[in-house]
Chain A
Amino acid sequence: MKLNRREIFAGLIAAAAAPRGRAADDSVVIPGKRPMILHNDRPEDLETPLRYFDSFLTPVDAFFVRQHLPRPSAIDAGAYRLTVNGMASKPLQLSLADLQKLPQHTIPATIECTGNGRGFYTPKVPGIQWGRGAIGNAEWSGPRISDILKMAGASESAGFLETDGADTGVAATPDFIRSLPMKKALDASTLLALKMNGQPLPDIHGFPARLIVPGWDGTSSVKWVVRLTVAAESNKGFFMNPGYRFPKYNLPPGSPPKPAELEVIEGMPVKSSIVAPEDQAKLTMGSITIRGFAWAGEEAIERVEVSADGGSRWHDAELSSPKLHFAWRLWHWDWKPSDPGYYTILSRATDSAGRVQPIVAAWNPSGYLWNAIDRVGVTVEKA
């Protein structure tokens, strides 16, 4: 490779800009979190390392974090008020205690960042280059959105529920406001969660209250919720359009978006990910457990198959119980390679609607919804 002087100098600058670079960066500590893959520290964009994905419920201290805007300063539980307004006959100001007095429901649900896996797309697209770990599964508890809206006398002719959190944009960055079709907002599984895995939500995950929209992209689950507005139409801000939209018709990789043909993302595709062994691992001959997780948005996982020979032969993996809509299932397959050498391991999920994980994910200009068959390469060595 021949470098010109500009490239050599750019290399020097890059080295100076990232002096610590490749190893653990001791200068950044995220309180309450184990060591996380650090995409951004201000605001926090943290990916869960694969080694923490070994349980049905992802521990809060290992759960991924995706902030669009700086976290709001800590909300005082006593002073907190939720405004419910818009097309509602009885607009409300609810305290945290009011919310705690409503019937509480608990639902296990997987939350996945819309851009999880963006780093796998070619050509590259702007945005955080997430790998496999912008996903987690937790038990969320709190009142149903439908109960809150009933109390407020929400109009039955309303089309959307607009949700705003306490976070605000720096400079002219647009506020993070999301709209949900009323049908999904009124679904019995849609909650205003006050708890995560049985504990009050930590600040970093939206204390004191966040939306949980099971089966939809994580972007729908707005944190630090301070306002619910019953509306005729969807919000028109950046984070509804063009943000978090997917091409109606697939585009050739690398082509620019067609703004008129972008649609709001509703629901999530079927997907499995390999957690162990990790890509390019060196393993010793013997029994090797290949394991991971699989989820399918609003559907349930029906089947996961694994191949250890690049996709010639597939084997059914063992799936964990329970089989739930909205929550992932863990899977594993015990593999006994007969020879040493390099192997390409693949996993492929099928869901309760018959959707099958594709070989190739649909490239899109924002790098959303990566769900190609997962793939790792490993080298097996003689014992």
Chain B
Amino acid sequence: MSASKLLLFAIVSAGSAVAADQAMLERGQKEEARSCVPCHSLRLIHSQRLSKAGWNKELDKMAGWGSKVTDRDALLEYLVATFGDDKPLPAPDTSANGTKK
């Protein structure tokens, strides 16, 4: 393989790898919206930072509590990539004033 062909191959395969990653993460996010939201809001997830083992354990726990996850691999990938324990904690959200003025 010539140098230019090698470079082209590298670019194409990197591109398809990214596409695969993106597709998986998007699938994971859709799975989250489908299977987690029936029981609780997503803040409960998005405010946490866990390792892959930690998220995997949470998915086990939620499966036991009745969640119907069909695309578990994608959901786990998405959780780890987005809310992994190497990611900084988000600044806390605040609710708006609910008292009568």
Residues of chain A at the chain B interface (Cβ within 8 Å): 5-7, 9-10, 13-14, 17-18, 20-43, 45-47, 49, 61, 119, 123-129, 131, 169-174
Residues of chain B at the chain A interface (Cβ within 8 Å): 14, 17-18, 21-22, 25-26, 29, 38-44, 46-51, 54, 57-58, 64-67, 78, 81-83, 85, 87, 89-99
Also in contact, A38 and B99, with CB within 8 A (given A13-B29, A129-B47, A173-B39): no
Interchain CB contact under 8 A, B47 and A39: yes
28 CB contacts below 8 A, A to B, read A5-B17, A6-B21, A7-B81, A10-B25, A10-B78, A20-B93, A22-B91, A25-B96, A28-B96, A29-B98, A32-B99, A37-B92, A38-B92, A38-B94, A39-B47, A39-B92, A40-B41, A40-B43, A41-B43, A45-B44, A119-B89, A123-B51, A126-B57, A129-B48, A131-B92, A171-B38, A171-B65, A172-B66
Also in contact, A28 and B95, with CB within 8 A (given A17-B82, A171-B65): yes
Interchain CB contact under 8 A, A41 and B95: yes
Smallest CB-CB A-B distances: 7 pairs: A171-B66, A172-B66, A10-B81, A42-B41, A170-B39, A38-B93, A40-B44
By a CB distance below 8 angstroms, the chain B residues around A170 are 38-39, 66
Instruction: Report the Cα distance A25→B46, complex, angstroms.
Output: 15
Q: How many A-B residue pairs have CB under 8 A?
A: 141
Interchain CB contact under 8 A, B81 and A33: no
Nearest-neighbour CB distance to chain A for B43, whole angstroms, equals: 5
Instruction: Report the Cα distance A35→B94, complex, angstroms.
Output: 6
Interchain CB contact under 8 A, B64 and A38: no
